[in-house]
Structure 1
């Protein structure tokens, strides 16, 4: 599947990149289908590896959609091509944001969710760069549009970000404060962020700063969890908390963790 991000500028004849997304893996619900979540892998990974983990979680009412990012040159690897939701050379608030890549990935996620039945709750989650893309989707939901001005078409009910960071953080607060509707949507959207204190890939302070920026911008329904000794990976304690949080916030039936 490809997404050709057309220019939002009137009269612009600038050619835009076309992004070829990889294979999408789907984990079907084992009980009554109540929610669908698009789950996004990290840099250099693919949708298959996460689909295998998600299938083992005690969440029988969730359908998981695990897409694979486009393969592209990535600056942080010196231009070496690998699967990536957007390009990036640095993980910091001062790093330039690849708006075209972010918008293309957020639109791909929204397209995957847009065909779900109307009574199904929709969510986005991810790990590392996938978590960053999930948080970017959360900001698009709040603003009601992508950063290129095109309307954001789906209504999110939950966002989960593991070991990630927030792209486009510098301008978020002003953009959301400029719209009563954006403030309302931001305040209503549940977010669950987790980060390891020993993360040597995405520093803990980046995850913590991202949570603070989101909270200050109006995302009031936000939980930030830290884990002692956790590096850039997941552990059962973390996934158990994610399962409990999703069950509570999406009003799921079926198994509940104590």
Structure 2
């Protein structure tokens, strides 16, 4: 599936870029279908690797959708191409955000969720760049629009991010505080951030800063937890936290025992 984004170039010319997304892997619920979560992989990965891990979690009432990001050149790798939800360079406070790529991926994810039954709760989760994408989607949900101004129509009930960061944090608080509806949506959207203190790829301070930015922007149902000594990977204890949090926040039947 592809998404075409329009961006104004010099003069009146319009630059058109099409992002081709890879294969989507789906893990069907083993019990009653109560929730659907799109789970997003990290830079250079694909949906298949995470679908295998998620299939073995004790969450029988969740349907997992694991898409694969487009293959595109990435500034962090000197322009080398790999699967990436958006273009990213060094994680610096003043680094430019790839709004075009962010919006294209956020729209693809929202489209995957839009087909779910009305009585099923929907959410987004991810690892590393996938977590960044989940957090960006959370801000779109609160604002009711993408960065390009198009309406964001999916009503998220939970957002989970492991070892990630928040793109587009500059000015987020002002945008949300400027709208009563945005402030209301931000205050009611549960977000879980988990980050290892020894992460060598996305340093812990980025997780900490992201939690602070989201909290200051009005996301009141925010849980931030650090894992001492954990690098840029997941461990069973962290996934247990995800299971327990989702079960509670989404009101799922059954336990995570």
Match of 2:157 in 1: 157
Runs of 4+ in structure 1 off by over 3 angstroms are 6-9
Task: Judge conservation of contact 2:122–2:157 (CA < 8 Å) in 1.
Answer: yes
Give the length in aligned residue pairs.
256
**Residues 1:54 and 2:40 are matched in the alignment:** no
> What is the correspondence of 1:113-128 to structure 2 with a 5 Å cutoff?
113-128=113-128
Counterpart for residue 167 of structure 1 = 167
Taking the aligned partners of 2:30 and 2:116, their CA distance within structure 1 comes to 17
Deviation, 1:7, is 4.7
State whether residues 159 and 191 of structure 1, in contact with CA within 8 Å, keep that contact through their aligned partners in structure 2: yes
- The question of whether the paired residues in 2 share the 8 Å contact of 1:36 and 1:63 is answered with yes
Aligned partners of 2:39 and 2:126 also within 8 Å: yes
Contact 2:8 2:14 in 1 (8 A): no
**Aligned residues of 1:39 and 1:124 also touching (Cα < 8 A):** yes
1:193-236 per-residue CA deviation (whole Å, 9 max, x = no partner) reads: 00000000000001000000000000000000100110000001
Superposed displacement of residue 171, structure 1: 1.2
TM-score normalised by the chain length of structure 1:
0.97
Cα offset, 1:141, TM superposition:
0.1
Quick check: 2:38–2:123 contact (8 Å CA) kept in 1? yes
Change (3 A) 1:12 1:148: farther
Q: SS in structure 1 opposite 2:102? A: helix
In 1: Cα distance, 2:123 partner to 2:12 partner: 34
Alpha-carbon distance in structure 1 between the residues aligned to 2:171 and 2:153: 22
What is the alpha-carbon root mean square deviation over aligned residues? 1.3
Summarize deviations over 1:16-49 as a string: whole Å, max 9, x none: 2100000000000000000000000000000000
Return the alpha-carbon distance in structure 1 between the equivalents of residues 88 and 236 of structure 2: 29
The residue number in structure 1 matching 2:256 is 256
- Give the TM-score normalised by structure 2: 0.97
